[in-house]
Structure 1
Amino acid sequence: MSEDFILTLEAKLDELIRQCGRLQQENAELKARESEWQQERVRLVEKNELARSRVEAMITRLKSLEAQ
């Protein structure tokens, strides 16, 4: 093998290693953001349930007032 070929191959390998590191970092960041969004979704679902419960309770009270 020629010296140029080996140097070119080494350069390509170095670039692949750098890109792999960047992709691993990006993947970790995306996983962290996904986790945050999942936690936010859980909070929003809980808030929605609470609001629905309160609205249902108000409707029930209004119906009982109408019946009186």
Structure 2
Amino acid sequence: MDKNDTNELELSSLEARIDELITTIESLTVENTVLKTHQNTLTLERTELISKTEQARTRVEGMITRLKALENRS
């Protein structure tokens, strides 16, 4: 095997490795996009749940206040 054959094999090996890396990058890019979308959905859901929790807390506190007022009247 001469120098040209060795260089050709090394070049082919390098090209194959680059192709693998490109495939990995493409796969990770898609996965990253999916994860970011999921994170945004979860963040929105969390915000909505926090709002609903605050509304429920306010309503319960109001009920407690009214119950205490009724109790004090008796």
Which TM-score tier does this pair reach, normalised by the shorter chain?
over 0.9
Larger Rg, first or second structure (1 or 2): 2
Alignment of 1:28-47 (within 5 A): 28-47=33-52
Structure 2 counterpart of 1:6, from 8, 11, 21: 11
TM-score (norm 1): 0.96
5+ residue gaps, structure 2: none
Alignment of 1:1-68 (within 5 A): 2-68=7-73
5+ residue gaps, structure 1: none
What percent identity do the matched residue pairs reach? 46
Please tell me the residue identity of whatever aligns with 1:24: T
How many positions carry a matched residue from both structures? Answer: 68
Q: CA RMSD in A?
A: 0.9
Runs of 4+ in structure 1 over 2 Å off: none
